[in-house]
Amino acid sequence: MDEGVKNVCLQTIELLKQLGAQVDRVEIPALEWGIPTYYIILPAEASTNLARFDGIRYGLQGDTIKFDSVTDYYEHIRQQGFGDEVKRRILIGTYVLSAGFYDAYYRRAQQVRQKIKNQLDEVYKTYDAIIGPTAPTAAWKLGAKVNDPIAMYLADIYTVIANLAGLPAMSLPAGFVQEE
């Protein structure tokens, strides 16, 4: 976590204490599993859900007369209708769900997902809320990381565990990080 983000978090915690909240530090080991688990499950689910976008029943539609085969039509529609990031996730998801890798990746990620949920359920037996940063850095300039998908994925570290556990979550502005 960047120092500026850490400072905003500490200020927010102090404000919550002043408002009467009991604030304790809680370790959530599942945080370290969140990113790899999420980026196995998410693309797999996206791949299966987006498979129906064939340009005939769902999704972008085009003039079928221009194409020699249904396969050519599907390729064209999916090329036009999906951006680079969506295509990347579909490919990863298809790979993860393929016969030789399903057990090694997807099934194991589902097991880890359950462990994450169990861990968070334990925290919520004692606490009403988990408060932390939304991202480890201040917001990037528009387009700054578009060619670095790994950096973009890693920035999701604090938000993906709520998604994996099926828990509600929200982000609230808490201040500004001072540029150095």
- Structure tokens given for 30: 């599942």
Residue 60 confidence (pLDDT) above 70? no
- Structure tokens given for 51: 């498979």
Q: How many domains does the chain have?
A: 1
**Residue 73: band (very low, low, confident or very high) from pLDDT cuts 50, 70, 90:** confident
Count of CB atoms within 10 A of residue 178's CB?
Answer: 10
pLDDT at site 121: 94
Segment 69-89 shows an average pLDDT of 79
Is 17 inside any structural domain? Answer: no
Residue closest to 165 by CA, chosen among 114, 128, 123: 114
Segment 98-103 shows an average pLDDT of 87
Question: pLDDT for 101-138, tens place per residue?
Answer: 888 899 999 999 999 999 999 999 999 999 989 999 98
- Full 3-state SS string of 37-82: HHHHHHHHHHHHHHCCCCCCCCCCCCCHHHCCCHHHHHHHHHHHHC
Is 5 inside any structural domain? Answer: no
% residues pLDDT > 70 (the chain): 92
Which residues, at least 6 apart from 140, have a Cβ–Cβ distance to it below 8 Å? none
Is 122 inside any structural domain? Answer: yes
42-51, 77-86, 90-99, 113-122: which has the minimum mean pLDDT? Answer: 77-86
**Residue 40: band (very low, low, confident or very high) from pLDDT cuts 50, 70, 90:** very high
Contacts 24+ apart (CB under 8 A), 94-102: 94/47, 96/40, 96/43, 96/44, 96/47, 97/44, 97/47, 97/48
Residue type at 9?
C
Is 78 inside any structural domain? Answer: yes
Is 175 inside any structural domain? Answer: no
Is 131 inside any structural domain? Answer: yes
Which residues, at least 6 apart from 166, have a Cβ–Cβ distance to it below 8 Å? 117
pLDDT at site 56: 66
Residue 149 confidence (pLDDT) above 90? no
Question: pLDDT for 43-58, tens place per residue?
Answer: 999 888 877 766 666 6
pLDDT at site 179: 67
Residue type at 164?
L
Q: Are 138 and 2 in contact (CB under 8 A)?
A: yes
Residue 69 confidence (pLDDT) above 80? yes
Residue 89 confidence (pLDDT) above 90? no
Domain that holds residue 47: 27-165
